[in-house]
Amino acid sequence: MDSRRSSRAVIDPKVRQVGFFTSAPLPPDRTQSDPPDPIRSPPLADASSPGNSLSPVMIPPPRHPSDSLLRLPHSPSDAFPPPSPTTTTTSLGDFSDDVTAASSPPPAAARVRGRGSSVKQQGAASSFPGGGFEVPPSVKAPSSVPASGLTTVSVVKLPPGISENAGGSVSVEVQSDRALNSKPLKEKTSKAERRAIQEAQRAAKAAAKAEGIKTPAVTALANAKSAKSTKPSPQRNDSAVVVAASEKKGGDRSVEKDRKKDVPHPRMQYDDKSRVQKLKKRSVVKPTEARNRVELFRHLPQYEHGTQLPVLQSKFFQLDTLHPAVYKVGLQYLSGDICGGNARCIAMLQAFQEAIRDYSTPPAKTLSRDLTAKISSYVSFLIDCRPLSVSMGNAIRFLKSQIAKIPISLSESEAKATLHSDIERFINEKIILADRVIVKHAVTKIRDGDVLLTYGSSSAVEMILQHAHELGKQFRVVIVDSRPKHEGKLLLRRLVRKGLSCTYTHINAISYIMHEVTRVFLGASSVLSNGTVYSRVGTACVAMVAYGFHIPVLVCCEAYKFHERVQLDSICSNELGDPDSISKVPGREDINHLDGWDKSENLQLLNLIYDATPSDYVSLIITDYGMIPPTSVPVIVREYGRGQLWI
């Protein structure tokens, strides 16, 4: 064993200097250190030989910054003997940024969760004055370096004094342990190995979680067993991430509590297995994942369509924590009855309005905190139904900041009234009035004799066309549509009824029809701060063809849909639709070549919902602040993003 290890110690640093670790060499180690019963692993590891006890589970390797970092966050939470349920309720995610500390935990515990990175940073700050947190494991194993003799690797070799400090700061117990281990440490542990052990532990943990929570009683037992010292904290820290720890504790809590803290990050990577699992456990909808997913888009959530609805319906009476209005809106999202950025946003805000109206603060809680948590749980439900759009994200951020702003002295009814009017004002100013201003601006760009092309169905563009028609301008409209949604048909119907002369075609004919077009009007789901227009899939194609024909492309978008994010392609953030809808042709039962496609291993269908149009192809963005070039989007975001936009 020793010989093997030492030989690997020579090789390892060479192989794994950078970032990620391949799992190839891990299995032997795993079998060694992975105990059969994952829950009982700590005591086992404790009892085993010093060589094995190097695992970070038991004894924190003293000169291992990451371990002490990981441990630190744990210790306070465990140091509080009664880990009361309320301490875990914190909403993770993007929208909680500006609304800090959603729940009312004791300050130390609040530091524990919240957000992983900040916690780590605090830990680092407290233990190492020099910082250096989150150093990749490959470079932070000084113990293996002397053995291997590869000095090039030991970039972040910590001076012993510091590591001593780190160990000492945690507990006295650790130091004595370390004294035991210090000799073998030098020779035997390669960092890869320790890493492997860590991985194993993590896997074990995940397994434990998946296996159904063995209730904290068991864990407590394990803890008690392992607690040979006065302080249980060093033993318990088993390499898991902070989130995992809180997860474990969250197991016995009510579903509602659980959901509150886990509003998934809007841009969560769904190819991260453990997170997805976590998410699944908490989500209400319980979707079944689609098969044969396209490799490049694995990070996006994709579920079998049509399976969620019945599940959700059957659960109606169990979801008593959910307000019926929110529930209704969620169902409408799910079934596709409400689509379009503005419509979805307004529906959501109105549902929240109702929810707030029926809300009453539970005893011993403050409105601003409890309501924020409540809203977060609603939002996570809505995300389960369909991923949020940028417009909704901005609206939620607005609402949360409004809630946070409510002075504590305000009575509940007053606070509710304020919020109600705030939401009302947001809808009026940011959506309805904004649209009116956009229409006013855009109409000036329509001249007699124009041929206007639009793609899909945008509410703003529809208003513009109707208003221009009411003004008596003589123009023609070309509506370009695409499978599978055929949203243009509805727009066509409404415009024709108003008496506009229209042409309807599919996107396949775009290069033909573009010859006669003089202006292209497009809607947008969002405009990002590099001027990229994020819109219905196919928009980029239309814009590019128009650019090729030197036809100006006008994008109509309310300023509340602007986002400070930058996106260069449509891959990193997108939404996947139902693949079945592109395999089937409605009305043509005989076209069934793709029937049963999901049984074929080598066929993957991709139905994207959005795409990103680079700003080069956009001549002009019409927003409620006037007509601006796409290069000026960051100015609007900067000037009005915080101050005026969310008033």
Task: Return the residue of 74, 344, 369, 441 that touches another protein, per CB under 8 A.
Answer: 441
Name the residue nearer to another protein (CB basis): 381 or 617: 617
Task: Return the residue of 358, 629, 642, 647 that touches another protein, per CB under 8 A.
Answer: 629
Q: For residue 565, what are the CA distances in angstroms to 392, 562, 568?
A: 15, 9, 10
Query: Which region, judged by CB under 8 A, interacts with another protein, from 123-131, 134-142, 420-428, 624-632?
Result: 624-632
d(CA 30, CA 43) in angstroms, rounded, equals 17
Name the residue nearer to another protein (CB basis): 378 or 426: 426
Question: How many C-beta neighbours within 10 Å does residue 92 have?
Answer: 21
Q: For residue 474, what are the CA distances in angstroms to 438, 500, 501, 511?
A: 20, 9, 9, 24
Q: Does 635 bind another protein (CB under 8 A)?
A: yes
Task: Return the residue of 108, 276, 582, 627 that touches another protein, per CB under 8 A.
Answer: 627
Name the residue nearer to another protein (CB basis): 271 or 564: 564
d(CA 286, CA 334) in angstroms, rounded, equals 13
Continuous H helices in 525-617:
539-548, 580-583
Q: Does 544 bind another protein (CB under 8 A)?
A: no
User: Which residues on neighbouring strands pair with residue 611, listed in sequence order?
Assistant: 535
Backbone angles phi, psi at 556, to 5 degrees: -105, 120
Backbone angles phi, psi at 465, to 5 degrees: -65, -40
In sequence order, the 6+-apart residues with CB closer than 8 A to the CB of 323 are 351, 354, 355, 358, 378
Encode burial over 487-510: b for 16+ CB neighbours within 10 A, e otherwise: bbeebbeebeeeebebbbeebeeb
CA 507 to chain centre: 32
Question: How many C-beta neighbours within 10 Å does residue 268 have?
Answer: 19
CA 192 to chain centre: 30
Name the residue nearer to another protein (CB basis): 406 or 545: 545
Task: Return the residue of 108, 404, 417, 437 that touches another protein, per CB under 8 A.
Answer: 437
Name the residue nearer to another protein (CB basis): 268 or 434: 434
Name the residue nearer to another protein (CB basis): 367 or 446: 446
Minimum distance of another protein from residue 476's CB (angstroms): 18
Query: Which region, judged by CB under 8 A, interacts with another protein, from 30-38, 242-250, 591-599, 635-643?
Result: 635-643
Minimum distance of another protein from residue 464's CB (angstroms): 15
Name the residue nearer to another protein (CB basis): 146 or 614: 614
Task: Return the residue of 14, 357, 405, 440 that touches another protein, per CB under 8 A.
Answer: 440
The answer to whether 373 and 359 have CB atoms below 8 angstroms apart is no
Minimum distance of another protein from residue 254's CB (angstroms): 47
Name the residue nearer to another protein (CB basis): 466 or 530: 530
Name the residue nearer to another protein (CB basis): 46 or 624: 624
The answer to whether 437 and 431 have CB atoms below 8 angstroms apart is no
Query: Which region, judged by CB under 8 A, interacts with another protein, from 234-242, 285-293, 357-365, 437-445?
Result: 437-445
Continuous H helices in 323-454:
324-335, 341-357, 367-385, 390-405, 412-425, 434-443
Minimum distance of another protein from residue 524's CB (angstroms): 18
d(CA 370, CA 420) in angstroms, rounded, equals 17
Q: How many residues bind another protein (CB under 8 A)?
A: 22
Residue type, 222: A
DSSP symbol at 426: I
Q: Does 428 bind another protein (CB under 8 A)?
A: no
Site for another protein, residues 492 to 521, rule: CB under 8 A: 519
The answer to whether 377 and 427 have CB atoms below 8 angstroms apart is no
DSSP symbol at 63: T
d(CA 333, CA 92) in angstroms, rounded, equals 23
Q: Does 625 bind another protein (CB under 8 A)?
A: yes
Task: Return the residue of 165, 182, 307, 632 that touches another protein, per CB under 8 A.
Answer: 632
Residue type, 108: A
DSSP symbol at 477: E
Minimum distance of another protein from residue 542's CB (angstroms): 17
Task: Return the residue of 485, 547, 624, 645 that touches another protein, per CB under 8 A.
Answer: 624
Q: Does 636 bind another protein (CB under 8 A)?
A: yes
d(CA 466, CA 216) in angstroms, rounded, equals 63
> Which DSSP helix (H) or strand (E) runs through 481?
strand 475-481
Name the residue nearer to another protein (CB basis): 473 or 486: 473
Name the residue nearer to another protein (CB basis): 27 or 629: 629
CA angle 507, 512, 514 (to 5 degrees): 80
Query: Which region, judged by CB under 8 A, interacts with another protein, from 315-323, 338-346, 378-386, 626-634?
Result: 626-634
Backbone angles phi, psi at 253, to 5 degrees: -85, 165
Minimum distance of another protein from residue 632's CB (angstroms): 4
Query: Which region, judged by CB under 8 A, interacts with another protein, from 296-304, 388-396, 538-546, 623-631?
Result: 623-631
CA 92 to chain centre: 9
Query: Which region, judged by CB under 8 A, interacts with another protein, from 40-48, 218-226, 494-502, 616-624?
Result: 616-624
Task: Return the residue of 46, 619, 637, 645 that touches another protein, per CB under 8 A.
Answer: 619
The residue length of the chain stands at 647
d(CA 355, CA 377) in angstroms, rounded, equals 12
Query: Which region, judged by CB under 8 A, interacts with another protein, from 122-130, 225-233, 311-319, 627-635?
Result: 627-635
Tokens 């949604």 appear where? 485
Name the residue nearer to another protein (CB basis): 420 or 425: 425
Site for another protein, residues 443 to 462, rule: CB under 8 A: 444-445, 447
Of 307, 400, 389, 413, give the one whose Cα is nearest residue 563: 389
Minimum distance of another protein from residue 431's CB (angstroms): 15
Site for another protein, residues 549 to 578, rule: CB under 8 A: 552, 554
Name the residue nearer to another protein (CB basis): 115 or 445: 445
Name the residue nearer to another protein (CB basis): 267 or 440: 440
Q: For residue 150, what are the CA distances in angstroms to 16, 143, 191, 266, 462?
A: 13, 12, 13, 43, 68
The residues binding another protein (CB under 8 A) are: 437, 440-441, 444-445, 447, 519, 552, 554, 619-620, 624-629, 631-632, 635-636, 639
